[in-house]
Structure 1
Amino acid sequence: MIWNSAYLDPFLNKAPKTIYNRVVNENNLPTEESESIYIAIIGGGPKGFYALDRFINKIIHLNTEKRINIHWFNHTRDFAAGPNFQPHLPSYLIMNDCIAEISCWEDLNKPHILPKRLKLIDWINENKSGENEPRHGDFCSRELMGLYLMDALKNILENIPNTMDIKLINANVIDIDVVEEKTKVTTSKKRLPYQYESTIICTGHSYANMEEENLLATDVSENIMYLPQAYPVELLDDIPSQVDVAIKGIGLTFMDAVLHLTEGRGGIFYKQDQEYRYLPSGYEPTIYPFSRRNLPMLPRNAFWEGNKYQLKIMTDDWVNSLKSRNGQLNFERDILPIYNLETQIAFYSHVHSTKELSDSEILDFIDSFDSSKLFSISALIDPMTYSKVQMESNYHEFIVDLGIYSLKLSDQGELKSPMAAAIAALREGFYKIADLFAHNGFDEESQESFEKHWMAFINHTAFGPPRDSIDKLFCLAKDGFVKFIFSEEPSISISDNRLKIKNSYIEKEFNYFIDARIPKGNLKLKNNLLFERMQKKGYVREIVNGKYENGKIAVQKDGRLIGNINNALIYLYGIPTDGTFLQNDSLSRKINNFSDEWSVATMDRIAEKYSCRNNKMECIKFSNLNYINLTSN
């Protein structure tokens, strides 16, 4: 089942309104109080909420007479939900993980200002309006997730201590200045007077694609409609019906665009013989996707703690053996062979002819069988070569057949189906790789190869959309509403007031073009105004590994900026840290949770400057005991 807000108590719709009523802008902020401590959180999505929640539950242990003022900045009013989980999104845009795998809270056994905190599945069960019980493998819409997050924020705001004030500020932060050990913030409208004791930046996907913007800026044509991004999805409403539209990128954003241009225009998906059928509305365009690999994503099956693939070779012992080298690793030499073997074992453990074999017998089979015919990571990267299909053949037919085959090999989930198990091995193995990347790092040549080639492949294969969305995509492909015609990455040019997309085998002209990629942070592109200005001041530095420069922001192991910040507390959390740490595009509060390190460092700073010196109290640092014990002399 796919849950959306229509299945919940309508009373929950008050949560977003409660949040909106608390939002202010820069001009509504009170005069700075000299006896108050100011904290800044920049970015109002889930990571910003996690930082707020963690900080509040640290600060309640601090005995200080000074008032704590938290200024939380976001460019929209949807605090906690952010742009990806706004409560007014259409219900056919669904979460990629099942409801049993999602929680906006940390360990529920930890002390907290809220005694009752619920995982998503339990929250749905408590707030459902009907009798259906949520199951672990169910999914939900992103707008329902937004309600869950905003309801959590509402409960936090209603229970904060009297010594604290939280301002939700609808403003776009474009600059930061370091003043001694504090920071000052400038928004798009004004420079604020407050001096912030500590700042955490949780800006998420705040970048922009540049390539086609530059192309179309030099060859402007009024006959070409170019959308440099697919969000908000309402932008796509300007695409006329029954026209050909090219979409660059075949990832998660592409799936949202496809569904909005079909189901979002009144088309109806229905099940017949357990398969999707599509009843068109007549307002759909015909969609022509392309990308570097020109392959659709594979489905992400439902998994949750206690019901997911367990790695056989890439164990903690294996990770620790590589960590013990205390030096940079080479991905292709030190990791890839084991990663490939892990994927093969997962696949052949569920193939009919080999599923009865033990792990050691499967290893013997892999070692003795013709490698060119074995399932492998290489087969996933380049299925045409693996299948020995000619590049000039009917590519659309090949993709549809491949999709149907892959879906059949994954229809029973990762504990029973070979393709689903292989994808799960890629996913779980990647978490181990991320751990090694953060601890050891990769050597110069290997890091460049990994980031420019392997990362995109792994993310595209192991972290796809849910099965339901992929089923819909191939239903549309079979019916001709989505057409895969580019077997090789094409080039883009403008000719005769039309956009020409061409490779060695085919070319086609378009008047409508959507860039459906999620842009990556790159300081060289100057595509984020805040980080660009911070870089010019020396607050932000680029990661450099030998001669390889990747445009990513350098941070310490705890998420603190590496730059000329004069001992100021400036931390990054989430997407902006993706140069030093991998897999930060996640709702998990366990993966690279720098909100905890930031909260501890901030508490230590406040305790040292205000509790100990000014109040003459005995102070024990949070970094040592995770709490403060203050007693009067």
Structure 2
Amino acid sequence: MIWKTAHILDDAKTARDYIASYIKDPAALQEAAFVPEATNIVLVGGGPKGMYALERLLNELPSSLEREGMHIIWINENADFGSGNNYQVDQPDYLLINYCIGNIDAWDRECVNTSIPQQLDLLDWIKASCDNGMQARPTDYASRALVGCYLQSSLQRILTSIPANVSVSLLQAKVADIHYETDFSLQLQGEEVPLKADYLLLATGHCYENNNLLGAGAVPAEQSGHYFKSAYPVKKLDSIPAQTPVAVVGLGLTCIDVVLHLTEGRGGRFTADGIYLSSGDEPLLYAFSRKNVPILTRGPIYGEDRYQLRPATIARLQEFKAISGERRIDFTRELYPVLQDEAQYAYYSTLLKERSEQRIADYIAKLPSNEIFTLDELLFPNSLSDHESMLQYLRDTIAYAECGELQAPVLAASAVWREATKWIGDLYQHAGFTGASQEVFDKQFFGAFCRSSFGPPIANMKKLLALAEFGILRFPATENATIDYNNEQAIFEVKGDNSSFTSTYLVDARIGRSNLEQKNASLYRALYESDLVKAFDNEGYHPGCVAMDIHGRATTASCAPLFFYGTPTEGVLLDNDSLSRKRNDTASCWSKFVVNTLLRLQKNNTYEFSSGG
């Protein structure tokens, strides 16, 4: 079952309007903020991470803290506070999350904010807020728009529970630059007077540009509006005319969004038996990637009904954790063999329905060496040579997902990374890997692990297959492609190892990653150029992120109390899922820092007053 915004009951649709009442005009906010002795606490980034940080801060603020004029100012570039760009509530319902609803919870269950009523997880919220005659199950899926409605409903509950000694304002604005002396000064785009802040957290999400796919001829292509350097928001692709050839770079989750928006979003329909019915308004789509291997389909994963690591493997990972305080770990030499051993066991234990390690080892020993399954085979398969081989790959992986990872050997092996991510993330964080092996991990392994372990739901991959069988979606054999722009003909020329094609439009369906030194995000470029942040360095390797300490605080000569949460910490931390409350919770570190500093100031002021100072 896929839950959509159409299933939401009318009385559960009030959150967006309620949140809008908190959005202030920048000029009016400036006037309110400039109060003598006021404390301005600013969060930048309006997605789930920003909401989690707001909730943690409100939870930490004690009623005994009575500083006059305590303002929390939450800044986002658009009005989608709580949901952020990924979960905008007005996006099409055919854009789905890639994990089950039973895994999503907007609340911290280990440190509960008792002032907020009805802290529902997504499953219980759907039961209370939706109706289509079906009972919601934890293994169901949902549209991203519906998840956005859930997140905004959660934000509404937070805003209705603000303590009396605090005010919260939401500000729709773009932060262009930040400076720091004794406090922060935020320059908002289009505003002359900067916004002052005593405390600041950046939870800015995916704000990075991809590297340019083209050569020197790229500038005319970008000016023409035919080159989309980012796929989001997908509605900007509406300008692409029908029947026009479009090259889509990337075969991951973003590619699926692009393809569905340009087909189902143009009025096409899918029948119950997997046939696509064209509207005639679709463009012609050519999807490819550097390796030309698509993301792996996965079935619903929830609770105990999944592959789980052997206790012996967990023990080995714990051993590495015990020694990680003494030295860096070499991922390639030390950790990868552990994952390889577990993946091989997962594959053959599922294939043979056998849990005896000795019997499995005996079986493997009898196989020809070129027939033995390895983790490399899963992560780095041969490129698919043509459209038909891609179709067969999609059919096979859909069949695996329908069987489930406890029945399909390939999916059991792919589950190893999902189950090991928590342990590997603990070893990775704060230069836990050697610099050389972190570089190999970041550039070679991480994307391959994500491709094999965090794929789309079966429903979406079946749609992709139907579109490819219909012929409106093609998979050209263009691995290791080069892309040039022909100015005279106004077309893109895509040339791969084995084939080539031309298109009128180009969509980059990859997700950009932070690269401070390449300055691929305007705000972070400004911070870097003003020396408010520096690049993280691990034995000479620069992953591209900001240097920060274990609490998410920037480490620079300025000593500015600038904190980061979520995507901006990637490279220092691993596994920053946008909806997770548990992993890499630097927001709690920041909120504790703010409150402890305020309490210390209050204590000092009280002492000075009582002493006649």
Q: Same fold (TM over 0.5)?
A: yes
Show the 5 A alignment for 1:21-420.
21-29=21-29, 30-31=31-32, 32-107=34-109, 110-180=112-182, 182-190=183-191, 192=193, 194-212=195-213, 215-220=216-221, 225-272=226-273, 276-312=274-310, 315-325=313-323, 326-351=326-351, 354-384=352-382, 395-420=386-411
Is residue 574 from structure 1 mapped to residue 566 from structure 2 by the alignment? yes
Q: CA deviation at 1:220?
A: 4.5
Supply the distance in 2 between the matched residues of 1:220 and 1:87 (Cα, whole angstroms): 32
Tell me the C-alpha RMSD between the 2 structures: 2.2
Q: CA deviation at 1:13?
A: 2.0
Q: CA deviation at 1:441?
A: 1.9
Supply the distance in 2 between the matched residues of 1:367 and 1:67 (Cα, whole angstroms): 72
1:428-458 alpha-carbon deviations (Å, 9 max, x no partner): 1233222111166222321221111111111
Q: CA deviation at 1:315?
A: 4.1
For residue 485 of structure 1, the aligned residue among 476, 493, 497 is 476
Show the 5 A alignment for 1:509-528.
509-528=502-521
Q: CA deviation at 1:108?
A: 6.5
Q: CA deviation at 1:481?
A: 1.9
1:118-149 alpha-carbon deviations (Å, 9 max, x no partner): 00000110112343210110011111111111
Whether the 8 Å CA contact 1:323–1:439 is kept in 2: the answer is no
- CA gap of 1:52–1:360, structure 2 versus 1, over 3 A, is farther
1:503-538 alpha-carbon deviations (Å, 9 max, x no partner): 231111111111111111101221212111111222
Structure 2 residue matching 1:493: 3-state secondary structure:
strand
Supply the distance in 2 between the matched residues of 1:81 and 1:223 (Cα, whole angstroms): 32
- CA gap of 1:613–1:332, structure 2 versus 1, over 3 A, is same
Q: CA deviation at 1:60?
A: 3.4
Amino acid at match of 1:15: A
- CA gap of 1:95–1:401, structure 2 versus 1, over 3 A, is same
Q: CA deviation at 1:222?
A: 7.9
Supply the distance in 1 between the matched residues of 2:43 and 2:223 (Cα, whole angstroms): 41
- Quote the sequence identity (%): 34
- CA gap of 1:25–1:443, structure 2 versus 1, over 3 A, is same
- CA gap of 1:335–1:370, structure 2 versus 1, over 3 A, is farther
> In the alignment, what sits opposite 1:533?
526
Supply the distance in 1 between the matched residues of 2:505 and 2:298 (Cα, whole angstroms): 30
Whether the 8 Å CA contact 2:429–2:572 is kept in 1: the answer is yes
- CA gap of 1:239–1:202, structure 2 versus 1, over 3 A, is same
Amino acid at match of 1:459: C
Whether the 8 Å CA contact 1:444–1:548 is kept in 2: the answer is yes
Q: CA deviation at 1:415?
A: 3.0
Supply the distance in 1 between the matched residues of 2:366 and 2:203 (Cα, whole angstroms): 50
> In the alignment, what sits opposite 2:611?
none
Amino acid at match of 2:455: G
Whether the 8 Å CA contact 2:215–2:484 is kept in 1: the answer is no
Amino acid at match of 2:133: E
Q: CA deviation at 1:314?
A: 6.8
Provide structure 2 residue ranges, at least 5 long, that are not aligned to the other structure. 609-613
Supply the distance in 1 between the matched residues of 2:38 and 2:283 (Cα, whole angstroms): 57
Supply the distance in 2 between the matched residues of 1:37 and 1:19 (Cα, whole angstroms): 23
Whether the 8 Å CA contact 2:39–2:67 is kept in 1: the answer is no
> In the alignment, what sits opposite 2:546?
553
Structure 2 residue matching 1:212: 3-state secondary structure:
coil
Show the 5 A alignment for 1:406-485.
406-438=397-429, 441-485=432-476
Supply the distance in 1 between the matched residues of 2:422 and 2:598 (Cα, whole angstroms): 35
Whether the 8 Å CA contact 1:343–1:425 is kept in 2: the answer is yes
- CA gap of 1:564–1:82, structure 2 versus 1, over 3 A, is same
Q: CA deviation at 1:24?
A: 1.8
Q: CA deviation at 1:218?
A: 4.3
1:58-108 alpha-carbon deviations (Å, 9 max, x no partner): 103543243320010000011011111111110000111110000111116
Supply the distance in 2 between the matched residues of 1:424 and 1:175 (Cα, whole angstroms): 42
Amino acid at match of 1:205: H
Whether the 8 Å CA contact 1:500–1:509 is kept in 2: the answer is yes
TM-score by length of 2: 0.94
1:370-426 alpha-carbon deviations (Å, 9 max, x no partner): 3321222222234337xxxxx7x5x11111112212222221322333232222212
- CA gap of 1:367–1:172, structure 2 versus 1, over 3 A, is farther
Q: CA deviation at 1:12?
A: 2.1
Q: CA deviation at 1:190?
A: 2.6
> In the alignment, what sits opposite 1:588?
580
- CA gap of 1:218–1:74, structure 2 versus 1, over 3 A, is closer
Whether the 8 Å CA contact 1:74–1:172 is kept in 2: the answer is yes
Give the paired residue count. 603
Supply the distance in 2 between the matched residues of 1:135 and 1:235 (Cα, whole angstroms): 34
- CA gap of 1:285–1:313, structure 2 versus 1, over 3 A, is farther
Structure 1 residue matching 2:473: 3-state secondary structure:
coil
TM-score by length of 1: 0.91
Amino acid at match of 2:586: F
> In the alignment, what sits opposite 1:11?
11
Structure 1 residue matching 2:176: 3-state secondary structure:
strand
Whether the 8 Å CA contact 1:25–1:171 is kept in 2: the answer is no
Supply the distance in 1 between the matched residues of 2:420 and 2:312 (Cα, whole angstroms): 7
> In the alignment, what sits opposite 1:494?
485
- CA gap of 1:61–1:21, structure 2 versus 1, over 3 A, is closer
Q: CA deviation at 1:177?
A: 1.3
Q: CA deviation at 1:300?
A: 3.0
1:292-342 alpha-carbon deviations (Å, 9 max, x no partner): 211111123222233332111674422221123321122111011111221
- CA gap of 1:375–1:189, structure 2 versus 1, over 3 A, is same
Supply the distance in 2 between the matched residues of 1:364 and 1:15 (Cα, whole angstroms): 60
Whether the 8 Å CA contact 1:38–1:194 is kept in 2: the answer is no
Supply the distance in 1 between the matched residues of 2:221 and 2:125 (Cα, whole angstroms): 50
- CA gap of 1:25–1:214, structure 2 versus 1, over 3 A, is farther
Structure 1 residue matching 2:523: 3-state secondary structure:
helix
- CA gap of 1:440–1:268, structure 2 versus 1, over 3 A, is same
Structure 1 residue matching 2:345: 3-state secondary structure:
helix
Supply the distance in 1 between the matched residues of 2:373 and 2:28 (Cα, whole angstroms): 61
Amino acid at match of 1:587: L
Supply the distance in 1 between the matched residues of 2:223 and 2:303 (Cα, whole angstroms): 52
Whether the 8 Å CA contact 1:290–1:486 is kept in 2: the answer is yes
Amino acid at match of 2:509: A
1:594-613 alpha-carbon deviations (Å, 9 max, x no partner): 11111111111111112x11
